[in-house]
Amino acid sequence: DVKVTQSSRYLVKRTGEKVFLECVQDMDHENMFWYRQDPGLGLRLIYFSYDVKMKEKGDIPEGYSVSREKKERFSLILESASTNQTSMYLCASSLGGNNEQFFGPGTRLTVL
Partner 1 sequence: GQQLNQSPQSMFIQEGEDVSMNCTSSSIFNTWLWYKQDPGEGPVLLIALYKAGELTSNGRLTAQFGITRKDSFLNISASIPSDVGIYFCAGPEWNYNTDKLIFGTGTRLQVFP
The residues that touch partner 1, with contacts defined as CB under 8 A, are 4, 31, 33, 42-43, 45, 48, 50, 56, 90, 92, 94-106, 108
- Best CA proximity match to 19, nearest among 49, 59, 64: 64
Distance of closest approach, residue 78 Cβ to partner 1, in angstroms: 19
- Cα 25 to Cα 2: distance, rounded to the nearest angstrom: 7
Distance of closest approach, residue 95 Cβ to partner 1, in angstroms: 8
Nearest CB to partner 1, comparing residues 60 and 103: 103
Nearest CB to partner 1, comparing residues 49 and 85: 49
- Cα 25 to Cα 73: distance, rounded to the nearest angstrom: 7
Distance of closest approach, residue 8 Cβ to partner 1, in angstroms: 13
Nearest CB to partner 1, comparing residues 85 and 101: 101
Beta bridge partners of 35: 45, 90
Strand pairing class (102-103; 87-94): antiparallel
Distance of closest approach, residue 16 Cβ to partner 1, in angstroms: 27
Nearest CB to partner 1, comparing residues 54 and 112: 54
Burial degree of 23 (CB within 10 A; 0-12, 13-18, 19+): buried
